[in-house]
A and B are shown apart, each in its own frame.
Chain A
Amino acid sequence: MMTTLLRQAFFWLLVRPFLLVVVGMHVRHRERLPSRGPAILVANHNSHLDTMALMTLLPPRLLGITHPVAAADYFLANRIRAWFALKIIGIIPIERTGRVAARDPLADVSRALERGEIVIVFPEGSRGEPEELTTFKKGVAHLAKRHPDVPVVPVFMHGLGKSLPKDDWLPVPFFVDVFVGDAMHGSHDHNAFTKAMSERVRALACEGKFPSWD
């Protein structure tokens, strides 16, 4: 109860005003965002703000049933961060270390989808390191195959990585563009699904024209 209240306060008093008023987001094809669960949102990942942005764009009544899937090794690293990640952000922790898991690593995510909840997945696996791309990419394909009726909605975001990049703590306002793609559904071929998904996100990126940033 207390944490639910804190969670709502965190999003309504801090996250939403910051992202909607101070930063400013422009969403193309907003109507393609899911209006109810279950659903899987997949997006490119450059910033801690990515999760906040996706949770801000969904209708507020869905906040309670929206859970980002996030790396257990990073977000559960210490007690304070773990409390914040689990209770306030509402993450579903997942093991991304390569060792063979004793149990199904996607079990918790599957269960959330069965409860009719919305999960957010960043198939790149991390905000930067490309070497972690592959393992996670297939994760969405596995999920989609297990839940063929659950729509997978691809999203491309630009600007948040400039506002708060990985190695910095100080946010600098830049306008944010969000492009929402058509929903996809799971298939048996993991590689084909993963490829189609990344092509959709790339196609969304081409809808915008972005200045260089280096």
Chain B
Amino acid sequence: MRTDLHGNVQIALAVILGVLVSASLVTRLLGWLKPDMALDEIRSRVRSWWIIAGLFGMALVLERGWALFFFAWVSYLALKEYLSLIPTRRADRRVLLWAYMAIPLQYLWIGMEWYGMFVVFVPVFLFLAIPARMVLIGDTKGFLRAAGTLHWGAMITIFSIGHLAYLLVLPSTVNPNGAGPGLVLFLVVLTQLNDVSQFMWGKAVGRARVMPTVSPNKTWGGLLGGMATTVALALACYRALTPLALHEAVAAGVMISVFGFVGDVVISAVKRDLGVKDCGALLPGHGGILDRLDSLTFTAPLFFHFVFYLYA
């Protein structure tokens, strides 16, 4: 357990717990009052909020080393899921192992707070190491596709998700209001809330589709309603959890809303490309981690560099 958790972060965690309990109660109540209402989608969303909130809450209260281990494990599960979903070449088994080995190294840089290494390791060194290792194997058929898909996965699952961990270890000189945990909480809550409110606004007022070929459920009504909700929540809690000024909080809210949406549809597009989405029922177990983290893979690096540029 970490002992330096800021009071504001503790209050925010308590509020989240309260919201989740009421969400569960409301769905339970709706199930009794209107038994014919279709609640499955809402129920599964509430369940996945509990899981996300539980896991991230745990990561925030854990001691730094354990928290980093937690995020590294998330990267590992996400990369494993990605590599199990994409076509890979048998010849590249050892190259895949290199990608796995990049995870502990990347989190080591984060633990050392070695920013320069953190920010070039996957985009530069791993980018070069993958084709270098592959060329030693010597199989040229499908070379570019294999190198490209592997590095893309490493960027999404190691580099992007790693930003959550680096956000967590930012010192209180960057953020006097709750340090790293405050920023992580702000980002994760806003990203998740944005997903939910886009879904709800889409059900309520959604008409025109934003991108029918990728994600037919996404509507302009949902996108704009979600953005308004997210900006409102950003304004409600930026003072408590972040060092941001008012106009910066608005910008962060818009950014998280727009790019949360983009991350969501990008992962949808990838799954459609792989033919996973067209199966009707998604393979259970596959589509766990990446589905949960889709928006965060975009919002985490963007929000991190937004804060880092302004305050670090």
Main DSSP-derived SS at the B contact region: helix
CB closest residue in chain A, given B94: A170
Docked Cα-Cα span, A109 to B174, in Å, equals 68
Q: Which residue of B80, B86, B89, B279 is within 8 Å of A24 (Cβ)? A: B80
Question: How far does the alpha carbon of A211 sit from the alpha carbon of B85 in the complex, in Å?
Answer: 6
Interface CB pairs A-B, < 8 A, 20: A26-B285, A26-B286, A162-B88, A162-B90, A168-B93, A172-B97, A173-B83, A177-B286, A208-B283, A209-B275, A209-B276, A209-B283, A211-B87, A211-B274, A212-B87, A213-B87, A213-B88, A213-B89, A214-B89, A214-B90
> B residues near A, CB below 8 A?
77, 80-81, 83-90, 93-94, 96-97, 100, 274-276, 279, 283-286
Knowing that A24-B285, A174-B84 are A-B contacts, what are 9 other residue pairs whose CB atoms are under 8 Å apart, sorted by A's residue number? A24-B77, A26-B286, A28-B284, A172-B93, A174-B80, A175-B285, A211-B85, A211-B86, A213-B87
Residues of B within 8 A of A211 (CB): 84-88, 274
Contact A173 B284 (CB under 8 A): no
Q: Which of chain A's residues has its CB closest to B99's CB?
A: A172
Q: Is the CB of A173 within 8 A of B90?
A: no
Which of chain B's residues has its CB closest to A24's CB?
B80
Nearest-CB residue, chain A, relative to B284: A26
Q: Does A165 contact B (CB under 8 A)?
A: yes
Check if A175 sits within 8 Å of B84, measured CB to CB. Answer: yes
Bound CA span A26–B285, Å: 6
A85: min CB distance to chain B, Å: 25
Chain A contact residues: helix, strand, loop or mixed: loop
Question: Quick check: A174 and B275 within 8 Å, CB to CB?
Answer: no
Chain A residues with a Cβ closer than 8 Å to the other chain, count: 19
Q: Nearest chain-A residue to B141 (Cβ)?
A: A214
Nearest-neighbor residue (CB-CB) of B81 within chain A: A175
CA distance A209 to B272 in the complex (A): 13
| A151 CB within 8 Å of chain B | no
* Nearest B residue (CB) for A174: B84
Query: Which 10 A-B residue pairings sit nearest by Cβ, starting from the closest?
Result: A26-B285, A175-B84, A212-B87, A211-B87, A172-B93, A174-B84, A173-B80, A172-B97, A172-B96, A209-B279
* Alpha-carbon distance A175/B283, docked complex (angstroms): 12
A186 interface residue, CB < 8 Å from B?
no
Residues of A within 8 A of B96 (CB): 172
Q: Does chain B have a CB within 8 A of A159?
A: yes
Interface string of A154-169 (1 = CB under 8 A from B): 0000010010010010
Hey, which chain B residues are within 8 Å of A208, CB to CB? 283
Q: How far is the CA of A170 from the CA of B94 in the complex (A)?
A: 8
Give the residues in chain B near A165, CB-CB below 8 Å: 90, 93
Q: How far is the CA of A138 from the CA of B267 in the complex (A)?
A: 46
Which residue of A is nearest B91, CB measured? A214
Across the interface, name the chain B residue whose C-beta is closest to A163.
B93
Q: Which of A168-214 contact B (CB under 8 A)?
A: 168, 170, 172-175, 177, 208-209, 211-214
- Closest CB in chain B relative to A70 CB, distance in Å: 25
Which residues of chain A in 3-46 are interfacial with respect to chain B, using CB atoms and an 8 Å cutoff? Answer: 24, 26, 28
Q: Determine if B93 and A170 form an interchain contact, defined as CB atoms under 8 angstroms apart.
A: yes
Chain B contacts of A173 at CB under 8 A? 80, 83, 100
Contacts of A170 in B (CB 8 A): 93-94, 97
B84: chain A residues at CB < 8 Å are 159, 174-175, 211
Give the residues in chain B near A162, CB-CB below 8 Å: 88, 90, 93
- Which residues of A sit under 8 angstroms from B85, Cβ to Cβ? 211
Q: Which residue of B lies closest to A207 (CB)?
A: B283
Q: What's the minimum C-beta distance from A209 to chain B, rounded to whole angstroms?
A: 6
For B278, the closest partner residue in chain A by CB is A209
